[in-house]
Amino acid sequence: MIKKSLVSAFWIGTVYLLIIAFFGSKRVPSLQGIRQDNLVRAQTVLWGAHHPENIIVGSSLPAMMDTRILGSNFHSLAISGYSSITGLELLERNLTFKPKRILVEAQFLNRNSTKDIQESIERPVMSFFRKHIKGFRDQFRPATVIANKISKVFGKLESWANSGPRQPRIPLKNSVSPDLERTNTLSIVALPNPNPKPAPKLKLPAQISPEDVKYPHLVEYSMHEFVGLIETNQVLDNLKLLKNLVNRFEKKGVECIFFETPVHLAITNTPLSIFQHQLFSKAFPTSRYRWILPEPGVHYFTADGIHLTGDSIKLYTDYFTNAVEIGASENLRETKNEKP
């Protein structure tokens, strides 16, 4: 029985891998969760046939961007739960081609680099198979393929059930993050503390309203990461790590562009956000690096104060891609003008 089972496993596996190799869809399917999403993003850019010009690294904030609007020239390696550092480290260790630009999210310096995703990508035996045989990759798990086939049947029903009145146009409000050069008038509580206290009980700011945020009660949860004592040493170490990574990519001829996604003003005015702004403005000044900041005067709608939702995702993604491409063509024009 054991031998017959192993032979059956061989044939079932081979047939499945061949089906995926010839008929596996290039479009990323609906995935089961955050972790699979993170792995698929990493595996697609590291082992996929397509080599995008622009790679985005960051956290779940830029991960919300609409990939259809981003287009084939962009790939989002924004890994939910992590930061730009994890994305850059993954690229440095495993990327086999040179992109033109890496778009670096300038938020979450408090998040340490973790080897979790890296270890999953670099697992000794499985990474070899995943790299060379598509069917072993997380995007083509049997359950994912089956679930997506079933989902197609329910897809139209879901769209019909969720179609309601469109989100009303919200009047312009000043909810854009400040530019880098603004002087900070708020004091920062920043003490090196090996045993940080838990964040104090928060009172939500008065400006959190359903017009800004879909789920106001989730804003308190989002803010927890931004208030309380800041592990200064940790943030400074991460900044140094990020700077080294950016320098190494620049030496290889890759342009590093920094960006911030729109977040609610209540988050922007937290101690950690302000501290990070100061650090980024000094380490990566606008005189030397290109920055893409949220469009001034435009109101964005978030689910919880930090994650864009609804039409705001399309709005921001559109703005972001134009900003990258217009900046790129300006650079090209400048280069052409500079030629004797």
Partner 1 sequence: MLFNSFSFIILLAVTFFLFYLPRLKQWQTHILIASSFIFYAHDTPRLLLLLIASILFNASVSFWIVRKKPSRKFLLTVLAIIANVIVIALFKYGPLLGSLIPDAKSTGIGHFLLRLPLPIGISFYTFESISLIVDTYRGGTKTPFVHGNFYLHLINTTLFVAFFPHLISGPILKAHDFYPQIQPKDRSDIHWENVFKLLVVGYFLKMVVADNLKDLTFWMTYPFFLPLWSGFLVSCLFGFSIQIFADFAGYSLIAIGIAEMFGYRLIQNFCFPYISSSLAEFWQRWHISLSSWLREYLYFPLGGNRRGKFRTYFNLFLVMAIGGLWHGAALSYAIWGIYHGLGLALERAMASNKPSRVPLTGFFKAFKICSVFLFVTLGWLLFKMPNFDHAIAFCRAMFANWGENIQFSPVIYIMVYALPVLIYHYLHLFKSSAFRAFVIRYQHVIYGALIVGILLNSGSPGSFIYFQF
Q: Is 203 in the site for partner 1 (CB under 8 A)?
A: no
Q: Tokens for 190?
A: 């920043």
Q: Which lies closer to partner 1 via its Cβ, residue 150 or residue 172? A: 150
DSSP for residue 302: B
Classify residue 296 by its DSSP letter: T
Three-state SS for 255?
strand
- Closest to partner 1 by CB, 120 or 269: 120
- Owner of token pair 């940790």: 234
CB of 126 to partner 1, least distance (A): 9
Tell me which of 19, 155, 191, 322 binds partner 1, using CB under 8 A. 155
> What residues form DSSP beta bridges with 291?
258
**Window 113 to 132, contacts with partner 1 (CB under 8 A):** 120, 124
Contact 53, 70 (CB under 8 A): no
* Least Cβ distance, residue 304 to partner 1 (angstroms): 9
Give the x/- contact pattern for partner 1 in 292-311, rule: CB under 8 A. Answer: -----------x--------
Q: Which of residues 35-94 bind partner 1 (CB under 8 A)?
A: 35-36
Our CB check for partner 1 shows the closer of 136 and 258 to be 136
Nearer to partner 1, 179 or 311 (CB): 311
1 by DSSP, 3-state: which?
coil
Residue number with CB closer to partner 1 (6 or 206):
6
Q: How far apart are CA 41 and CA 76, in angstroms?
A: 7
Q: How many Å separate Cα 324 from the centre of its chain?
A: 16
Q: Is 154 in the site for partner 1 (CB under 8 A)?
A: yes
Which tokens in the block code for residue 154?
């329910």
Q: Using the rule CB under 8 A, which residue among 48, 71, 73, 147 binds partner 1?
A: 147
- Cα of 260 vs its chain's centroid, Å: 11
Q: By CB under 8 A, tell whether 221 contacts partner 1.
A: yes
The reply on whether position 150 binds partner 1 by CB under 8 A is yes
What is the smallest separation between the CB atom of 135 and partner 1, expressed in angstroms? 7
Q: How far apart are CA 317 and CA 325, in angstroms?
A: 12
**What is the edge-to-edge ordering of all strands in the sheet holding 54-58?**
74-78, 54-58, 101-105, 255-259, 290-292
Shortest distance in whole angstroms from residue 228 CB to partner 1: 18
Tell which residue, 44, 77, 48, has the closest CA to residue 62: 77
In order of 73, 75, 125, 239, the CA distances from 102 in angstroms are: 12, 10, 29, 17
Q: Is 331 in the site for partner 1 (CB under 8 A)?
A: no
Stretch that binds partner 1, among 1-9, 42-50, 199-207, 331-339 (CB under 8 A): 1-9
7 binds partner 1 (CB under 8 A): yes
Residue selected from 8, 167, 247, 331 as contacting partner 1 according to rule CB under 8 A = 8
Please report the DSSP string for 119-150 in residue order. Answer: HHHT-TTHHHHHHH-GGGSGGG-HHHHHHHHH
Binding site residues, partner 1, CB under 8 A = 1-2, 4-13, 16, 30, 32-36, 120, 124, 135-136, 140-143, 146-147, 150-151, 154-155, 157-158, 161-162, 214-215, 217-218, 221, 303
